[in-house]
Amino acid sequence: MKNKIPGRPRFAYVSNSAWSVIEHFGFHCYPIDLDAIYKALPIVSHTYQYYMSMWGVTLDEYISSVCGIKDGFSIYDKGNNLYVVSYNTQDMTQARIRWTLAHELGHIILNHFGEFDATSLCGPGLTEEEYGVLDVEANTFASELLCSPAMVGLLPERERNIDYISNLFFISKQAAEKAIEQWMEHQWLHKKHAAFFEQQFSSYLYGGHESA
């Protein structure tokens, strides 16, 4: 029997999970190396375009066969204990693809497949609301992994702009804007998270980075 999906996103659990990954992989600078994480886990990842050519279908046909999901999705092959991540590359920037890959990693690392019956993409299974909670969790995971608002807050003020942040963290301008917004709106919360980033990225923040 699977657990019930939480009624609200578990922000503390999600953030802690993302920071554990950063710590475990010994990341001390940005951008975060998603490849290294994918390689270390039982994940097979392919582009939508890979499946399209294998099955001889168009992008539209492929997307409608996966319930209209445009960016990417993951499924869990329980028998082989293998996660399959599929992601779209057409008209997607590298930065947006990175976000999709980090988001899917969130579903996997947060154990959405093991803990809940989140294996089915469409049809019976999760309600939209339940799916929404898991998706917010996956997005929060991606944000904490790729560009935590706490880290944004630690940057010198002159670097806290969309161009600088999207380059440094290799995220889209839209995601950079959101991270800055998050920092501005919830400084008190993100300040509590600063200690981890100060320690983990100390050489980046305080060493060899002097252009004041």
Q: Which residues bind Zn ion (CB under 5 A)?
A: 135, 138
Backbone angles phi, psi at 203, to 5 degrees: -65, -35
Backbone angle region of 71, left / alpha / beta, with phi > 0 → left and psi within -120 to 50 → alpha: alpha
Angle, helix 94-109 to helix 128-146, in steps of 10 degrees: 110
Complex with Zn ion: residue 138 or 150, whichever CB lies closer:
138
Helices H / strands E in the chain, number of each: 13, 3
CB atoms within 10 A of CB 203: 11
Which one, of 150, 193, 175, 133, lies nearest residue 12 by Cα? Answer: 193
Please report how close the Cβ of residue 101 comes to Zn ion at its closest, in angstroms. 12
Q: Minimal distance in Å, beta carbon 107 to Zn ion?
A: 6
Tell me whether residue 135 or residue 177 sits nearer to Zn ion (CB atom): 135
Minimum distance from CB of 51 to Zn ion (Å)? 18
- Nearest approach in angstroms of CB 149 to Zn ion is 20
CB closer to Zn ion, 75 vs 138? 138
- Residue 131 structure tokens: 């799916």
- 45 vs 200, beta carbon nearer Zn ion: 45
- CA 58 vs. chain centroid, Å, equals 27
Distance CA 157, CA 179 (A): 14
Q: How far is the CB of 148 from Zn ion (least distance, A)?
A: 19
Classify residue 171 by its DSSP letter.
-
C-beta closer to Zn ion: residue 108 or 154:
108
Q: Least Å distance between CB 32 and Zn ion?
A: 18
Q: Please identify the residue of the shown chain whose CB is closest to the bound Zn ion.
A: 135
If 0-12 CB within 10 Å is exposed, 13-18 middle and 19+ buried, where does residue 163 land? exposed
Positions of E strands within the chain: 43-47, 72-77, 82-87
Question: DSSP character for 120?
Answer: -
For residues 110 and 168, which CB has a smaller minimum distance to Zn ion in the complex?
Answer: 110
